[in-house]
Amino acid sequence: MPKLRINDREIEVPEGTSVLDAIFHAGYDVPYFCSERHLSPIGACRMCLVKVGAPRKGKDGDWIRDEEGNPRIFWFPKLMAACTTRATEGMVVDTLADEVKKAQAGMVEFHLENHPLDCPTCDKGGACELQDRSYEYGLFEKYYTQTQNGLKTVLYSRFAFTKRHADKHHKLSEFVVLDRERCIHCKRCVRYFEEIPGEEVLDFIERGNHTFIGSEEVPLPAGFSGNITDICPVGALLDLTARFRARNWEFEKTPTVDMNDAFGAAIWVDSRSGRIERIRAREHPETNEIWIADAARFGHGWTVRDRVTAPLIRKDGELVPASLAEAEAYLRERLARVRGEEVGLLLAADGTLEEGYAFAEAARALKADHFGFENATRFPAANLPAARFEELLSAEFALVIGDPAEEMPNLYLRLQEFLKGITPAPRYYHGTPIADLRLEERMPRRKERLAVFAAYPTRLHRFAGIAGVYPPGSAGPLVEALSAILNGKRPEPVPGVPEAELRRVAERFLAAGSRAIVVGAEVLEAPEAAQAVADLARSKGALVFAMPPAAGARGLEAVGLWNPRGPGWEEPGARFLFAFGATPPAEVLASARLRVLALSHLDPQARAHADLVLPAKTFYEKRGYTVNAEGRLLELRPAPTAPMGSMDGLEALAFWLRAMGKKPPAAHYREARERLHERYRLPLDLPEEGFFWRPKLRLAARTGKDEGELFLQPTMWKERMLRDDRVRTALGAPRLRVHPATAKKLGLAQGARVEVATRYGRRDATVALDPSLAEGALLLPAYGRGTGRRVPYRLLVPAGGEA
């Protein structure tokens, strides 16, 4: 632990701390542009120049001392970039010296030399690091054009500077735009792509004054590209979904949690005039650090389009707007003599813990059999032990079965950290280290630490020492075979994966001191396999990371919204059906006598089947708790964008129960939270980092097996996001990926346009032959419905298409 002096303060910092972090840790400020949390420090911008000195040791091994006997400080001959200088014992740092101020002001001027003065039209204006730093550290007048002796002189140059002109509107993808004039060459985006998602996409092209950011790959690979708009210190990389929607200070900023996957990434929802305009990543060091996936960031356009703003009642086959009183009367009349057992209560995958509690309690009170939540897997994720995401970094070997990049994108980024061997950074007074000297550019990925198996080649396959592709449906047998090998039994053969490969995995698994198993929806859909994972975790002490397709799965199961014996979300059951937040499949709706759906948006199924539609809030607008995949309780906070009269799950359920003449278990989130507090000892107020709630559960698993050929491939994008034109354009037509041999059998040709009908509805798709798949594979993006399942399908050939 080196001790050093920053200006007048003595501090002690952990070994390997940069001077930059030491300065902030001491409570002083230093300007910087190129350093960013979780990225390697490179000293590109030269803004953090400070005066640094250190004592030296003489030949006798002792400090060289001055006359008074104190170690003599040898000042570095020039100012040092604080971000790339390591803090050492006895170091002295001066950030307030005149020469430091002059150097920093000079650097500000250099950065502004080519920077256009379009701050009024720039979306970064008001949240721009360059703006802030030039106010704080810049000069008020230009130095390089000052008048001396009445003559206008330009120092160091025979030429008058004109600003560099470059491409101002370079679209990198549907979501990100690059303004090359504004770029200050900090290299954050270049480093981000290589270091965080592990894709070398952007780079500097040309040199000196002509340097610009460019890419071979336009559009940028969708997945994690949006984070560069957050980390860009100027307005060079901007979010196109929020382009010119408002200035930064005008947004209503709501800190909440993303519910598109079970990771529980922290986000800022920026809204204005009742519209969600932008989503940004919020720092949460224990979960998402400062990153979020593109789907979470750019997939918000759906919230503002075609909202259900009033109750809709079906009259003569049409859904017509009605008042709440009419809706109540309608419901009262139809629920007058309904017995509790005839009722079905279903909740969306992004339901909060409070909603889950109310639904489960109501179902119990009604003795209803048909209750549950959307995208519930056969094996409850809550049965698996949960590990903290940070614990993954301390593992030595990880086995992944599934596709983390799509099922839980932030876990993919954590796996990248794991591959690089990064451990959680020390916490400073200012939080996460800004220039973490442990990080380097192009750190080698330790491939031998990772084994990946999935039904198709995932992003992670490239980084895995052992990687395999099995035909869809073999995830269960694969896990069981592996578990058999680990337990010293003879494994059953797994299609597509040779036994020797599995033995290698088992060998590395056992050789590693600590192991992690990451399982996706496919394994959770195979109850025996998931149970095997749970047993392995117990017997071999492996960390388990389950990626349930429903964001709130762990919490909803734990509060009792789990009924393995009754019909689930996808099976017909109740005659009087109430669903909140999502539309169950058509066959479920068709089999009921009364279908009441609380939805924020109408979809084709709801339009065709619903009898009464209540306006619902989206997860951005609800208040409540949720439990993420690591068993961490997190809080959702409402953005002020819900249309007047729209309900959250508790209000909508209370509306239904009152129409039945029953008392709702909780009419308001606060009441539900108090019940949760009484029953499960959950806190009423959460600390910022969350609260661990991992009850030991042994819920019965749902039995059954997938009967179908079409594998619904996990996607980070959800069905509802496709309402947005921008998202649709970016994703393109969904691809029906087929192994060539299977395609031949089915008579499908490359590029043919087909319509695929499943129980979740119809989808247009383009056939793509993919020899990297296992034979017999037929894959369609799930877009959040039936993720990881195999379902029966029918292929229809639309007019103009050929198959």
Partner 1 sequence: MSVMALAKALGITLRHFFSRPVTVPYPDAPVAIKPRFHGRHVLTRHPDSGLEKCIGCSLCAAACPAYAIYVEPAENDPENPVSIGERYAKVYEINMLRCIFCGNCEEACPTGAIVLGNEFELADYRYADFVYTKEDLLLDAVGSRPQRREAARTGKPVKLGFEVPYVRPELEGVKYE
Stretch that binds partner 1, among 245-253, 307-315, 357-365, 703-711 (CB under 8 A): 245-253
- If we measure between CA atoms, which residue out of 723, 728, 731 comes closest to residue 304? 723
**What angle (nearest 5°) sits at the alpha carbon of residue 102, between those of residues 98 and 108?**
145
Residue 543 has, within 13 A of its CA and on its CB side, a CA count of 22
Nearer residue to partner 1 within complex by CB, 122 or 506: 122
Among 59, 169, 207, 698, binds partner 1 (CB under 8 A): 169
CB of 276 to partner 1, least distance (A): 15
The tokens describing 562, both together, are 């789990």
CB of 238 to partner 1, least distance (A): 11
Nearer residue to partner 1 within complex by CB, 177 or 612: 177
CB of 120 to partner 1, least distance (A): 4
Nearer residue to partner 1 within complex by CB, 69 or 120: 120
CB of 241 to partner 1, least distance (A): 12
Nearer residue to partner 1 within complex by CB, 240 or 712: 240
According to the binding rule CB under 8 A, does residue 121 interact with partner 1? Answer: yes
According to the binding rule CB under 8 A, does residue 305 interact with partner 1? Answer: no
Q: Which run of H or of E encompasses 410? A: helix 409-420
Nearer residue to partner 1 within complex by CB, 101 or 243: 243
Q: How far lies 620's CA from each of 88, 131, 350, 427, 496, in Å?
A: 47, 31, 10, 30, 42
According to the binding rule CB under 8 A, does residue 698 interact with partner 1? Answer: no
According to the binding rule CB under 8 A, does residue 681 interact with partner 1? Answer: no
Stretch that binds partner 1, among 243-251, 293-301, 357-365, 765-773 (CB under 8 A): 243-251
CB of 230 to partner 1, least distance (A): 21
Stretch that binds partner 1, among 64-72, 117-125, 500-508, 775-783 (CB under 8 A): 117-125
Stretch that binds partner 1, among 28-36, 115-123, 454-462, 744-752 (CB under 8 A): 115-123
According to the binding rule CB under 8 A, does residue 125 interact with partner 1? Answer: yes
According to the binding rule CB under 8 A, does residue 171 interact with partner 1? Answer: no
According to the binding rule CB under 8 A, does residue 492 interact with partner 1? Answer: no
According to the binding rule CB under 8 A, does residue 273 interact with partner 1? Answer: yes
Among 15, 118, 306, 775, binds partner 1 (CB under 8 A): 118
The tokens describing 177, both together, are 């735009």
Nearer residue to partner 1 within complex by CB, 140 or 249: 249
CA dihedral 400, 403, 409, 412 (to 10 degrees): 30
CB of 244 to partner 1, least distance (A): 4
Yes or no: say if 233 and 186 are a contact pair by the CB < 8 Å rule. yes
According to the binding rule CB under 8 A, does residue 245 interact with partner 1? Answer: yes
134: helix, strand or coil: helix
The tokens describing 160, both together, are 């008058």
According to the binding rule CB under 8 A, does residue 244 interact with partner 1? Answer: yes
CB of 217 to partner 1, least distance (A): 25
According to the binding rule CB under 8 A, does residue 250 interact with partner 1? Answer: yes
The tokens describing 557, both together, are 């199961």
Cβ neighbours of residue 132 closer than 8 Å, sequence gap 6 or more? none
Nearer residue to partner 1 within complex by CB, 252 or 671: 252
CB of 246 to partner 1, least distance (A): 7
Among 207, 249, 490, 678, binds partner 1 (CB under 8 A): 249
According to the binding rule CB under 8 A, does residue 167 interact with partner 1? Answer: no
Nearer residue to partner 1 within complex by CB, 120 or 444: 120
User: Look-up: residue for tokens 């919230």?
Assistant: 303
Residue 688, amino acid: E
Number of residues in contact with partner 1, rule: CB under 8 A? Answer: 14
Residue 685 has, within 13 A of its CA and on its CB side, a CA count of 1
CB of 638 to partner 1, least distance (A): 23
Q: Which run of H or of E encompasses 796? A: strand 794-796
**DSSP symbol at 23:** H
Yes or no: say if 526 and 402 are a contact pair by the CB < 8 Å rule. no
Stretch that binds partner 1, among 62-70, 237-245, 442-450, 660-668 (CB under 8 A): 237-245
Among 5, 164, 185, 247, binds partner 1 (CB under 8 A): 247
Nearer residue to partner 1 within complex by CB, 272 or 438: 272
Region at 85 (left for phi over 0; alpha for psi -120 to 50; beta for the rest): beta
The tokens describing 254, both together, are 């709501």
Stretch that binds partner 1, among 139-147, 244-252, 555-563, 570-578 (CB under 8 A): 244-252
Yes or no: say if 418 and 452 are a contact pair by the CB < 8 Å rule. no
Q: 740: buried, middle or exposed (CB in 10 Å: 19+, 13-18, 0-12)? A: middle
Nearer residue to partner 1 within complex by CB, 120 or 687: 120
CA–CA dist 211, 224 (Å, integer): 24
- Find the helix packing angle between 98-113 and 129-137, rounded to 10°: 140
CA dihedral over 365, 369, 374, 377, signed as positive or negative: positive
Nearer residue to partner 1 within complex by CB, 272 or 504: 272
CB of 43 to partner 1, least distance (A): 34
CB of 250 to partner 1, least distance (A): 6
Nearer residue to partner 1 within complex by CB, 417 or 724: 724
Yes or no: say if 390 and 363 are a contact pair by the CB < 8 Å rule. no
CA–CA dist 588, 127 (Å, integer): 49
Cβ neighbours of residue 326 closer than 8 Å, sequence gap 6 or more? 311, 313
314: helix, strand or coil: strand
CA dihedral 584, 589, 593, 595 (to 10 degrees): 50
User: Look-up: residue for tokens 């346009």?
Assistant: 753
CA–CA dist 154, 160 (Å, integer): 7
According to the binding rule CB under 8 A, does residue 246 interact with partner 1? Answer: yes
Nearer residue to partner 1 within complex by CB, 164 or 247: 247
Yes or no: say if 352 and 625 are a contact pair by the CB < 8 Å rule. yes
CA–CA dist 662, 595 (Å, integer): 19
Nearer residue to partner 1 within complex by CB, 125 or 385: 125
Stretch that binds partner 1, among 247-255, 335-343, 365-373, 606-614 (CB under 8 A): 247-255
CB of 231 to partner 1, least distance (A): 23
Stretch that binds partner 1, among 10-18, 86-94, 242-250, 401-409 (CB under 8 A): 242-250
Helices (H) and strands (E) in the chain, counts: 22, 38
Nearer residue to partner 1 within complex by CB, 127 or 246: 246
Nearer residue to partner 1 within complex by CB, 121 or 147: 121
Nearer residue to partner 1 within complex by CB, 123 or 194: 123
Nearer residue to partner 1 within complex by CB, 103 or 240: 240
Stretch that binds partner 1, among 119-127, 218-226, 405-413, 533-541 (CB under 8 A): 119-127
Yes or no: say if 366 and 341 are a contact pair by the CB < 8 Å rule. yes
User: Look-up: residue for tokens 């400062």?
Assistant: 290
DSSP for 198-218?
A: ----EEEES-GGG-EEEESSS
According to the binding rule CB under 8 A, does residue 168 interact with partner 1? Answer: yes
Quick check: bond before 219 cis, omega within 30?
yes
| Full 3-state SS string of 748-788 | CCCCCEEEEEECCEEEEEEEEECCCCCCCCEEEECCCCCCC
Stretch that binds partner 1, among 105-113, 118-126, 602-610, 637-645 (CB under 8 A): 118-126
Among 61, 69, 77, 120, binds partner 1 (CB under 8 A): 120
According to the binding rule CB under 8 A, does residue 243 interact with partner 1? Answer: yes
Question: Which residues here bind partner 1, judged by CB under 8 A?
Answer: 118, 120-121, 125, 168-169, 243-247, 249-250, 273
